[in-house]
Chains A and B, each alone.
Chain A
Amino acid sequence: MKKFILDLDIVENQRLNYQYVLLKLTHSETLPPILPGQFAQIRVDGSPETFLRRPISINFVDTERNQLWLLIQVVGAGTRCLAELKVGEKLNLIFPLGNSFTVPEDKKAQIALIGGGVGVAPMLMYGEWLHRHGYKPNFLIGARSEVDLLQLEEFSKYGKVFTTTEDGTHGEQGYITQHSCLKSLSFDYIFTCGPTPMMKAVARYAQEKGIFCEVSLENLMGCGIGACLCCVTDTTEGNLCVCTEGPIFNVTKLKWQI
């Protein structure tokens, strides 16, 4: 897929809670094709501390409005700069980058999209894609507390939503990997993105049950286009760049201690 460097216009900066913002961006021309699971390298012109671009998952593409959504978790200087952007300002993106989730052949397949924290970002776009193509995805979303659960209304448009919170303020209490639906339903495909311990727990569950499982990795990146070889992960084929061979990997390929 051809990659572009584009200045996009910010049309909305929606604060979701104390830690998250949703940026909606548009462009004067039609946005290039983007696949679910892909990401963008975002330029942050803030300070000497934010020298490199930030890799951010593409949360959603609204083709009707020609908008691209980015879900930003404010964790450091770079994401703080992004969260403070105003409507009318521009943001420079290199995109679309990376691979995409595997599409199940059988439209009747039981599919679980499991997201934690900012890891829910790519799940919305993939969920919408699956829904649009006649699949029935299930969303399993975990968070610390109710206030940390993001975009639940959006998710519910495209499939069933199951939630857990650590403090029990929403859905079942506990971690998402403890949700009762993982016992009552039998899934054929699991796609997950979130904190590494969560993804490892999901991978362990999938491995025990023999379920197809893909994870989306968030390694630190230099270039995002396979040139610097900084973002590698250890796989059965040696060190592979997460930015070009990933970010989506089948768990059987990763040399994870799970």
Chain B
Amino acid sequence: MADLTTKLGTIQLKNPVMTASGTFGFGTEYLDFMDLGRMGGIVVKGTTIRERQGNPYPRMAETSSGMLNAVGLQNKGVDYFVKHIYPEIKDFDTNVFVNVSGSTLEDYVETAEIINELDKIPGIELNISCPNVKEGGMAFGVSCPMASQVVKEVRKVYKKELMVKLSPNVTDIAEIARAVETEGADSVSLINTLLGMAVDAKTRKPLLSTVTGGLSGPAIKPIALCMVWQVANAVKIPVVGLGGIMNATDAIEFLLVGASAIQVGTANFIDPAVSVKIVEGIDKYLDDNGFKSVSEIVGALEI
């Protein structure tokens, strides 16, 4: 068995497989299907300073090899998380990251400050890339000055692993990655969903209540691979790759283009036990190909 451990900035993961925020609830939803202790980490549902009801139904549409969602960060707010959810998940035998989002700079800072006090949460994923909220969210992730500013302010109050989730809805994602690295991000995760829409020709109406939403699933994998490759070549901090990973082969492709770890998202809906299968598949690939550790294949793309 190969060494599956991988380093993500300040912390070590037992393997490079994590679950993506918004697709894995708080982990508790998946306990019937898998042992969370097998995971490198999980990123729980986006949390904001105050409760959010999200967008009206319909907020999901199936598309070719993927899906659009426009959930809009429905969550009960950080205080509820601390009081009711944290006690349920703090003893999971894996790294639990909290995805933090906000409408304003202050929202991000306040939420991060509260999460910083939780001993069993080793890191946050700063979501500056949600395409489904009217204010904040992606707005922070599509301009270098704004991305820099939010990371700089959160860095002042957040002392543990600070992973920043980047938006693909930009002209040059490497530029944003460099900007957040400069302000002290420990790692970056990418890509969040791509802005997209679906239309019903019969009714001449959009399929989502919000008209546009975020596209995920295997349809976006080639774009995600390309962006991970671009970012991995542009920054020194670890890159976490995600976007359409359905199986171990997909995950290995992300590692090869430079990701130190990966996240499994939409695939969790189709097979709730897929993440563990991906861990096993990576292990087998390393053994079959004579690699002794995951680190040997990170960025090992032969051009």
Q: How far is the CB of A64 from chain B (nearest CB, A)?
A: 27
Residue of chain A at shortest CB distance from B33: A5
Contacts of A51 in B (CB 8 A): 62-67, 217-218, 270
Q: How far is the CB of B271 from chain A (nearest CB, A)?
A: 7
Q: Among B30, B57, B273, which residue has its beta carbon within 8 angstroms of that of A232?
A: B57
For chain B, the count of residues having a C-beta within 8 Å of the partner chain is: 34
B22 at the interface (CB under 8 A from A): yes
Q: Is the interface of A mostly helix, strand, loop or mixed?
A: loop
Contacts of B237 in A (CB 8 A): none
Q: How far is the CB of A80 from chain B (nearest CB, A)?
A: 14
**Complex CA–CA separation, A2 to B64 (angstroms):** 32
Mask of A127-146 contacts with B, CB within 8 angstroms, 1/0: 00000000000000000000
B58 at the interface (CB under 8 A from A): yes
Q: Is the CB–CB distance between B71 and A229 below 8 Å?
A: yes
Q: Taking A3-B33, A229-B54, A230-B60 as contacts, is the C-beta distance between A48 and B67 under 8 angstroms?
A: no
**Complex CA–CA separation, A238 to B53 (angstroms):** 7
**Complex CA–CA separation, A219 to B60 (angstroms):** 10
Q: Is the CB–CB distance between A228 and B71 below 8 Å?
A: yes
Contacts of B145 in A (CB 8 A): none
**Complex CA–CA separation, A52 to B269 (angstroms):** 7
A222 at the interface (CB under 8 A from B): yes
Q: Is the CB–CB distance between B270 and A227 below 8 Å?
A: no
**Complex CA–CA separation, A125 to B61 (angstroms):** 30
Q: Is the CB–CB distance between A234 and B57 below 8 Å?
A: yes
**Complex CA–CA separation, A98 to B293 (angstroms):** 42
**Complex CA–CA separation, A220 to B273 (angstroms):** 22
Chain A residues within 8 Å of B, Cβ to Cβ: 2-5, 43, 48-53, 94, 219-234, 238-239
Q: Can you report 16 residue pairs joining A to B where beta carbons are below 8 Å apart?
A: A3-B33, A43-B271, A49-B62, A51-B64, A51-B65, A51-B66, A53-B270, A220-B61, A222-B269, A226-B25, A227-B24, A227-B269, A228-B60, A232-B54, A234-B56, A239-B54
